[in-house]
Amino acid sequence: MDAVQRANSGHPGMPMGAAPMAHALWTRHLRHNPRNPKWFDRDRFILSAGHGSMLLYSLLHLTGYDLSLDDIRAFRQFGSRTPGHPENTLTPGVEMATGPLGQGISTAVGMAIAEAHLAAVFNRPGHTVVDHYTFGICSDGDLMEGVAQEACSLAGHLELSKLIFLYDDNGITIDGKTDLAYTEDVTKKFEALGWTVLACDGMDVDAVDRAIGVAKANGKGPVLVRCKTTIGFGSPNRAGTSKSHGEPLGVDEIRLTKERLGLPVDREFWIDDDVLATYRQAIVRGEESEAEWAGRFAAYAEAYPVEAERLSAAIHGNLGDWAAHLPAIDEKIATRAASGKVVDAVSTSLVGFLGGGADLTGNVNVPQKAFGLFSASDRTGRTLHYGVREHAMMAAVNGITLHGAARGFGGTFLIFSDYCKPSIRLAALMECPSIFVFTHDSIGLGEDGPTHQPVEQLAGLRAIPNLNVFRPADGNETVAGWKVALESTHTPTLFSLSRQALPPVSPSFSGTHPAEKGGYVLADFPTISGPRVVLIGAGSEVQHCISARDLLVERGIAARVVSLPCWRLFDRQSEAYRFDVLPDDVPAVSVEAASTFGWAKYAHAHVGLDRFGASAPGDVNMREFGFTAEHVADVAASLIGR
Amino acid sequence: MDAVQRANSGHPGMPMGAAPMAHALWTRHLRHNPRNPKWFDRDRFILSAGHGSMLLYSLLHLTGYDLSLDDIRAFRQFGSRTPGHPENTLTPGVEMATGPLGQGISTAVGMAIAEAHLAAVFNRPGHTVVDHYTFGICSDGDLMEGVAQEACSLAGHLELSKLIFLYDDNGITIDGKTDLAYTEDVTKKFEALGWTVLACDGMDVDAVDRAIGVAKANGKGPVLVRCKTTIGFGSPNRAGTSKSHGEPLGVDEIRLTKERLGLPVDREFWIDDDVLATYRQAIVRGEESEAEWAGRFAAYAEAYPVEAERLSAAIHGNLGDWAAHLPAIDEKIATRAASGKVVDAVSTSLVGFLGGGADLTGNVNVPQKAFGLFSASDRTGRTLHYGVREHAMMAAVNGITLHGAARGFGGTFLIFSDYCKPSIRLAALMECPSIFVFTHDSIGLGEDGPTHQPVEQLAGLRAIPNLNVFRPADGNETVAGWKVALESTHTPTLFSLSRQALPPVSPSFSGTHPAEKGGYVLADFPTISGPRVVLIGAGSEVQHCISARDLLVERGIAARVVSLPCWRLFDRQSEAYRFDVLPDDVPAVSVEAASTFGWAKYAHAHVGLDRFGASAPGDVNMREFGFTAEHVADVAASLIGR
């Protein structure tokens, strides 16, 4: 409450009410090493109710992570390591960014999937080297969110027994009492989803402790521990009310609260020495835990040197020698199919490569032919049927990737990127190199019509900071995109792939490809003397640029074709390179079967789609909406005239 | 199956398996008038499983709507009225566009809310003029989607007894058997959400009929009728398999199916005369139903002339004389608060004005002070607590608005537009004039940090066709935005509003305001001789443009300030007007605390934010990221130099 008061903003109620359950979990169960927050086999802890960040910062400081009281005094200030909601890129011990409700618990499902898979693949009789829980605290707000409901249904289906969430059941939301909007029978619902539900007094440390013990021993799928708590516990006038949720208690109320709790009323950020000493035992316990694990790992390495080396490399971020297996794809092929070929080419050389689809698994070409399904009965499989749960899928993909020694990817139609945008954004914010595979990426998908045809999606996605949106023109550019994606350590990659077959237009992939630069000259100005124009295409429309160039040459106009599969990568090239590709004294036309929104950055006229599409065969749509060589050439020629 | 075969694409299985339940509903229960698809008191029917569009088109043709066999022969062809997924803007009798799973059932919840509210407000003892059911058919895909789970939880909470969905429980998804991904206990879950769940053999018309009868009489909240069905019923080799889901059966299999079903094997699009005659009775029944209702309405009009006139006007699209009540707002005020003032100013003059928030109801200023809460116990209230269910909220807002005689609006933070984007897009596609109120629209929200700070959201939303994104600079522009929103009949409006107070900068609202044009000159070039520059601002950054203009004048540069609250409206002005506002021979700088993505269309340099924000007080953020008069002036001056 002192930190929130000093910041004059924040959420004191949740940390105060959830402190007993956090105490039980962090002092009696959580296996972690404050001196090595990245120890591989630690239990993961996810504060899904991210607004309660001060609870997590308190725990991190108390247990000896590199987070000082001065850091906490800087709560919610510019440049601090204690932002309003937890951010894994700023604070040691924070597993992921939380705050957007529902994301934490949904991402945790992915972490539990990764753990189950790696354990099944690497553990051997008598040698357990992957073995941890994924714990978390969630709120009613988390549980109301659709993404969490998808994720919890999935977790129940997959019987993820080592996933244990404490539900901070405090009966209060921002608007008032939870029952203003939320009256479902949570226990019954979670049981229907395949969870075991336990209930306890969340203010009773021993009761929570016992419930967690039962949960760990459960073994029959994920566990929700309903902890009845009092939000703002200790505050004489605000406990149990929404007034304690999202604003400072005020200096007077803090004084009263300290009085009631038996704390020195004139001290801020005060920690009892005994309390600190008790908590700091986590350092020794953590070092012992990791040392014990290291011993087990050494024995494993002796017995299974190959497996141990693979796992060890994966833990350190090297999932395998995939790069050597990237193929050239020179045929006419849908880029979704090309993507599937790359997945198959690299899969056996990658550890923890877990893909899946949201009920369009075959359509989006994500299955790895060399591996089976990941299911409740087989954890060694690598393809997940996520069901029609796009949002939970992409959150789980993030969780798999954040876990370490694994890389998640998931696929669905590009239009459904709308359904999972919050998880895509969070990957970018978390610097988590997830791979999002979206197919059927334009009106070229055809008859399913405008409800299924992306128009504005590419603009919205390209505008996300730290996200590589890659829309390849053919098979070889698709390979280049996968190279970028798999090399990436801090930036997620999003593929925008065609349903329809595309002719080969770009150079054959040979370990490298110019598309890795994001944009490049695919066909240069011909040596004719005439006005010049640049045709910039992306994805399935690059082919029309190439044909239009021929038409323009016939008309005495010298056209260059630039393929621009990834704006972000191109923008990060040197100014000299960019000007070389797109000379600023030559007019340019953009060609893409999508909204023209954003293209003015590169081009002066546009062949695009600033309306919704139509239900018709894909080639008819393309023609009707002007994605033809003739129309591109006409637009380019008209630009010359201006 | 003939239509899908002719189109050589589509989904035959669902229509074939769901035909018996649809027959029971449409011939024995649904009150509708094929000769007046817009009859106000009709039962609404929502095909949430929109991929089964041929089921709906069949029903519409059979019951006598203006949809011919030739229309059906043109299934999925360019320009037809029978697109791959239903579109309300193309086909009479289609209530909404469906296809993106989960949207139909969630939007239906809004329709049921509107019905309950209007019934409570207008019906009188002995005079029932609003009284219909909202029926629908949903699939397992619908029920897996998070938005549907949010919506169903909400519907149970609100005890919407006249909402009845038939669940096409066919055990098959695209990937294979549903239990590949979906093993929850659906009945138990829906009971936990407060629904009554009935089960029946979905292939038995009488059984479905009886279940619907029980559902209508239930009165204890919404009802889910689980209908066990056989996908692709009748097809000897594909019934009950995923092969019948999403592709034509093939001519051979169609022949076998017709044989098995006793249909003439050599006829396509064949309808038995007796069948047609039976179905076409819907025309007479429909006209009788509407006439009976018109009689009731006449008696009501005699007894309650004022109410009848208000309701009648609302049915015809005139919700009231709100325009006369629009205030001027000249004070320094957060635009979210200004929006709340407008809501209160117009609320009593509007029929069916139903607003709500997703657990931030007060923060986003949506409650109407003159009215109470809409709840299970009071249907006359106008403010809904949607809970932390942003997606279901905006889907319900669409349903309220589509219902007629009502206008829905909903509010949350702009960052959470990501959570409900699919419903926003669908409103635009459906030409449904919903009002989406988003607040806390930049890093100016402050300490909650980057997980809560929109950056790329505006770009993604502005790129949606047929959506007015309105980001007002002050109180009066906010009023202008509401005028545009409430006048709109075919275009939804999305507000982007500030958390922080903004000084008045624009003219006082006086029935009209230049912001209605989307963009206008707020402060013109001063009469100095010097180079010229245009500063284009939106929302909370316009104030900095005005201050920067003064700084530039001091430096001998003549700056104009253009306020651009709504790109779409501005783009629809005449070319002459647009060039007058933004002369093409004067360099321009855009100023907005958001991604610069898209701004190159109007400006040559940008003061924007192409990274994630930070947790810090809002004014600190603004300063640190360059949203100051000084920085704007510097960027403008540097542009002159180029």
Q: Do B182 and A157 touch (CB under 8 A)?
A: yes
B-interface mutation test, from A448, A567, A621, most B Cβ less than 10 A away:
A448
Q: What is the ipTM of this complex?
A: 0.98
Using a CB-CB distance cutoff of 8 angstroms, which residues of chain B are in contact with residue A459?
Answer: 459-460, 463, 597-598
Using CB atoms, which residue from A175, A188, A461 is nearest to B361?
A175
Using alpha carbons, list the distances in angstroms from residue B133 to B32, B350, B439, B452: 11, 24, 34, 39
Contact residues for B370 (Cβ-Cβ < 8 A; gap 6+): B344, B347, B348
Rounded to whole angstroms, the Cα distance separating A322 from A479 reads 12
What is the rounded average pLDDT of the residues A54-64?
A: 98
State the pLDDT at residue B173.
Answer: 85
Rounded to whole angstroms, the Cα distance separating A196 from A200 reads 13
Closest C-alpha among A134, A93, A89 to residue A112? A134
Residue B393: its H or E element: helix B390-403
Using a CB-CB distance cutoff of 8 angstroms, which residues of chain B are in contact with residue A100?
Answer: 415-416, 418-419, 451-452
Distance from CA of A31 to the nearest CA of B (A): 28
State the pLDDT at residue B176.
Answer: 87
Residue in this structure with the two tokens 């545009």, named with its chain if needed: B484
pLDDT digit string, tens, across residues B413-463: 999 999 999 999 999 999 999 999 999 999 999 999 999 999 999 999 999
DSSP strands (E only) in A441-531? 468-470, 493-496, 501-502, 520-523
Q: Do A141 and B388 touch (CB under 8 A)?
A: yes
State the pLDDT at residue B56.
Answer: 98
Q: Measured in whole angstroms, how far is the alpha carbon of residue A431 from the centre of its chain?
A: 9
Amino acid identity at A499: R
Q: Which residues lie across from A355 on neighbouring strands?
A: A383, A409
Q: Do A78 and B621 touch (CB under 8 A)?
A: yes
Q: Which residue of A has its CA nearest to B186?
A: A192
Q: Which two tokens stand for residue B585?
A: 């021979």
Instruction: Tell me if A285 sits within 8 A of A53, measured CB to CB.
Output: no
State the pLDDT at residue B344.
Answer: 97
Closest C-alpha among A518, A506, A512, A507 to residue A546? A506
Look at residue B641 and tell me whether its pLDDT is greater than 80: no
Contact residues for A252 (Cβ-Cβ < 8 A; gap 6+): none
Q: Do A612 and B465 touch (CB under 8 A)?
A: yes
A-interface mutation test, from B456, B462, B596, most A Cβ less than 10 A away:
B456
What is the rounded average pLDDT of the residues A546-572?
A: 98
State the pLDDT at residue A173.
Answer: 85
State the pLDDT at residue B175.
Answer: 85
Instruction: Tell me if A535 sits within 8 A of A506, measured CB to CB.
Output: no
Distance from CA of A310 to the nearest CA of B (A): 31
Using a CB-CB distance cutoff of 8 angstroms, which residues of chain B are in contact with residue A624?
Answer: 78
State the pLDDT at residue A353.
Answer: 98
Using a CB-CB distance cutoff of 8 angstroms, which residues of chain A are in contact with residue B363?
Answer: 174
Using CB atoms, which residue from A78, A455, A601 is nearest to B616?
A78
Using CB atoms, which residue from B359, B392, B614 is nearest to A78?
B614
State the pLDDT at residue A175.
Answer: 85
What is the rounded average pLDDT of the residues A496-521?
A: 98
Using a CB-CB distance cutoff of 8 angstroms, which residues of chain B are in contact with residue A603?
Answer: none
Q: Do B451 and A598 touch (CB under 8 A)?
A: no
A-interface mutation test, from B388, B393, B443, B606, most A Cβ less than 10 A away:
B388
State the pLDDT at residue B53.
Answer: 98
Dihedral of alpha carbons A102, A104, A110, A116, sign? negative
pLDDT digit string, tens, across residues B103-133: 999 999 999 999 999 999 999 999 999 999 9
Interface size A-B, in CB pairs within 8 Å, comes to 349
What is the rounded average pLDDT of the residues B297-325?
A: 97
pLDDT digit string, tens, across residues A82-113: 999 999 999 999 999 999 999 999 999 999 99
Q: What is the mean pLDDT of chain B?
A: 97
Counting other chains too, the contacts that B585-588 makes at CB distance below 8 Å and 24 or more residues apart are B586/B532, B586/B533, B586/B534, B586/B560, B587/B532, B587/B533, B587/B534, B587/B639, B587/B640, B587/B642, B588/B533, B588/B534, B588/B535, B588/B536, B588/B562
Just list the catalytic residues of B.
390
Pairing of strands A605-607, B176-177: unpaired
**DSSP class per residue in A79-126:** T-S--SS--TTTSTT--S---STTHHHHHHHHHHHHHHHHHHHH-BTT
Instruction: Tell me if B584 sits within 8 A of A604, measured CB to CB.
Output: no
What is the rounded average pLDDT of the residues B166-191?
A: 94
User: Angle, nearest 10°, between helix axes A13-28 and A273-303?
Assistant: 50
Q: Which residue of A has its CA nearest to B139?
A: A388
Using CB atoms, which residue from A188, A385, A386 is nearest to B188?
A188
Q: Do B465 and A456 touch (CB under 8 A)?
A: yes
Look at residue B642 and tell me whether its pLDDT is greater than 90: no
Look at residue B184 and tell me whether its pLDDT is greater than 90: yes
Q: Do A181 and B422 touch (CB under 8 A)?
A: no
Burial A460-487 (b: 16+ CB within 10 A, else e): bbbbbbbbbbbbbbbbbbbbbbbbbbbe
Look at residue A388 and tell me whether its pLDDT is greater than 80: yes
Rounded to whole angstroms, the Cα distance separating B284 from B125 reads 29
Contact residues for A106 (Cβ-Cβ < 8 A; gap 6+): A147, A148, A150, A151, A391, A392, A395, A396, A399, A423
State the pLDDT at residue A500.
Answer: 97
Using a CB-CB distance cutoff of 8 angstroms, which residues of chain B are in contact with residue A141?
Answer: 359, 388
Look at residue A642 and tell me whether its pLDDT is greater than 80: no
Distance from CA of A181 to the nearest CA of B (A): 5
**Could you give the 3-state DSSP secondary structure of residue A463?**
coil
Using CB atoms, which residue from B7, B181, B621 is nearest to A447?
B7
Residue B535: its H or E element: strand B532-537
DSSP strands (E only) in A399-478? 407-413, 435-439, 468-470
Using a CB-CB distance cutoff of 8 angstroms, which residues of chain B are in contact with residue A463?
Answer: 455-456, 459-460, 595, 597-598
Using alpha carbons, list the distances in angstroms from residue A479 to A368, A508, A581, A588: 16, 10, 22, 27
Q: Where are the alpha helices (DSSP H) in A431-566?
A: 457-462, 475-487, 542-554
Residue A189: its H or E element: helix A186-192
Q: Which two tokens stand for residue A597?
A: 């929104």
Q: Do A387 and B154 touch (CB under 8 A)?
A: no
Q: For B280, list phi and psi in degrees, rounded to 5.
A: -70, -10
Distance from CA of B31 to the nearest CA of A (A): 28
Rounded to whole angstroms, the Cα distance separating B98 from B138 reads 11
User: Angle, nearest 10°, between helix axes A335-347 and A475-487?
Assistant: 50
Look at residue B155 and tell me whether its pLDDT is greater than 80: yes
Closest C-alpha among B449, B423, B628, B464 to residue B546? B628
Residue A47: its H or E element: strand A44-47
State the pLDDT at residue A364.
Answer: 94
Rounded to whole angstroms, the Cα distance separating B336 from B495 reads 9
pLDDT digit string, tens, across residues B237-284: 999 999 999 999 999 999 999 999 999 999 999 999 999 999 999 999
Q: Which two tokens stand for residue B582?
A: 């933004």
State the pLDDT at residue A394.
Answer: 98
Total Cβ atoms within 10 A of residue B455: 26
Rounded to whole angstroms, the Cα distance separating B475 from B481 reads 10
State the pLDDT at residue B610.
Answer: 98
State the Cα angle at B138 between B136 and B144, rounded to 5°: 140
Amino acid identity at B511: G
Using CB atoms, which residue from A362, A451, A600 is nearest to B97?
A451
**Could you give the 3-state DSSP secondary structure of residue B182?**
coil
Rounded to whole angstroms, the Cα distance separating A513 from A327 reads 12
Closest C-alpha among B334, B329, B330 to residue B500? B334
DSSP A127: B
Instruction: Tell me if A175 sits within 8 A of B362, measured CB to CB.
Output: yes
State the pLDDT at residue B90.
Answer: 98
Distance from CA of B452 to the nearest CA of A (A): 7
Using a CB-CB distance cutoff of 8 angstroms, which residues of chain B are in contact with residue A76?
Answer: 447, 449, 615-617
Distance from CA of B421 to the nearest CA of A (A): 6
Q: Do B153 and A184 touch (CB under 8 A)?
A: yes
Banded model confidence at residue A613, pLDDT cuts 50, 70, 90: very high
The 3-class secondary structure across B74-131, one letter per residue, is CCCCCCCCCCCCCCCCCCCCCCCCCCCCCHHHHHHHHHHHHHHHHHHHHCECCECCCC
What is the rounded average pLDDT of the residues B149-166?
A: 98
pLDDT digit string, tens, across residues B583-592: 999 999 999 9
Using alpha carbons, list the distances in angstroms from residue A222 to A185, A206, A376, A466, B395: 18, 21, 12, 33, 31
Q: Which residue of B has its CA nearest to A374?
A: B180
Banded model confidence at residue B361, pLDDT cuts 50, 70, 90: confident
pLDDT digit string, tens, across residues A196-214: 999 999 999 999 999 999 9
What percentage of chain A exceeds 70 in pLDDT? 100
Look at residue A176 and tell me whether its pLDDT is greater than 90: no
Instruction: Tell me if A220 sits within 8 A of A9, measured CB to CB.
Output: no
Contact residues for A200 (Cβ-Cβ < 8 A; gap 6+): A207, A208, A210, A211, A225, A226, A227, A228
Q: Do B85 and A452 touch (CB under 8 A)?
A: yes
State the Cα angle at A636 between A631 and A638, rounded to 5°: 95
Using a CB-CB distance cutoff of 8 angstroms, which residues of chain A are in contact with residue B600?
Answer: 598, 600-601
Look at residue B483 and tell me whether its pLDDT is greater than 70: yes
Instruction: Tell me if A392 sits within 8 A of A468, measured CB to CB.
Output: no
Contact residues for A237 (Cβ-Cβ < 8 A; gap 6+): A253, A256
Using CB atoms, which residue from A140, A418, A462 is nearest to B421?
A418
B-interface mutation test, from A373, A418, A469, A599, most B Cβ less than 10 A away:
A418
Instruction: Tell me if A14 sits within 8 A of A232, measured CB to CB.
Output: no
The predicted model scores a pTM of 0.98
Q: Measured in whole angstroms, how far is the alpha carbon of residue A204 from the centre of its chain?
A: 35
Q: Do A188 and B192 touch (CB under 8 A)?
A: yes
B-interface mutation test, from A90, A149, A439, most B Cβ less than 10 A away:
A149
Would you put residue B310 in left (φ > 0), alpha (ψ -120 to 50) or beta?
alpha
Rounded to whole angstroms, the Cα distance separating B288 from B330 reads 54
- HSE, side-chain direction, 13 A CA sphere, residue A245: 21
Banded model confidence at residue B174, pLDDT cuts 50, 70, 90: confident
Using CB atoms, which residue from A79, A101, A456 is nearest to B464?
A456
pLDDT digit string, tens, across residues B63-104: 999 999 999 999 999 999 999 999 999 999 999 999 999 999
Q: Which residues lie across from A409 on neighbouring strands?
A: A355, A435
Using a CB-CB distance cutoff of 8 angstroms, which residues of chain B are in contact with residue A446?
Answer: 9
